[in-house]
Amino acid sequence: MKTLKSLLILMILTASFNAFSQEKSVELLNSELVNDKGLNMYVIERNIPGAGNLTTEELQAISQTSCGVLDSMGSGIKWLHSYVTGDKVYCIYMAKNEDLVREHAKKGGFPANSVAPVKVIIDPSTATVKK
């Protein structure tokens, strides 16, 4: 039952994100890559075997740990959201630099197998952008 509930939550979040991204223009999305506080967007890949089988309670505990570490680090880093797959978690962060992302991972006890700055965001509306 917990797995079904988690799947339902993930489906709702995915549908919401898809609707959200399709409503925004590519220019607006790309303007969010660096916000007014000088934070850049990063994608973090975390190899966590069995991540897709974590319970709601386990995901909540991990989220609480992450938020606690972020609170202690100040305004130079912010967690936007994460995508949990079978054996990986992909996180989207805003941060002043990659070092802060890696520091958060170390302090929280999370792997950060890959940290990549986002250069451009594309979505279905990219196909119809006029030059």
Q: Is residue 74 part of a domain?
A: yes
Q: Is residue 20 part of a domain?
A: no
Per-residue pLDDT of the chain (131 residues; tens, 9 = 90+): 555 454 445 444 444 454 444 455 555 555 666 776 789 999 999 999 999 999 999 999 999 999 999 999 999 999 999 999 999 999 999 999 999 999 999 999 999 999 999 999 999 988 987 77
Q: Is residue 88 part of a domain?
A: yes
Which residues form the domain of 76? 25-120
The domain that contains 107 carries what CATH number?
Answer: 3.30.70.3090
Specify the number of domains making up the chain: 1
Q: Return the pLDDT at 100.
A: 98
> Cα separation of 27 and 126, whole Å?
9
Q: Return the pLDDT at 90.
A: 98
Q: Is residue 19 part of a domain?
A: no
Q: Is residue 34 part of a domain?
A: yes
CA angle (116, 117, 122) in 5-degree steps: 105
Residue 76 phi/psi, 5-degree rounding, is -85, 0
Q: Return the pLDDT at 37.
A: 78
Q: Is residue 127 part of a domain?
A: no
Q: Is residue 129 part of a domain?
A: no
> Cα separation of 22 and 123, whole Å?
7
Q: Return the pLDDT at 13.
A: 46
pTM, full prediction? 0.75
Q: Return the pLDDT at 86.
A: 98
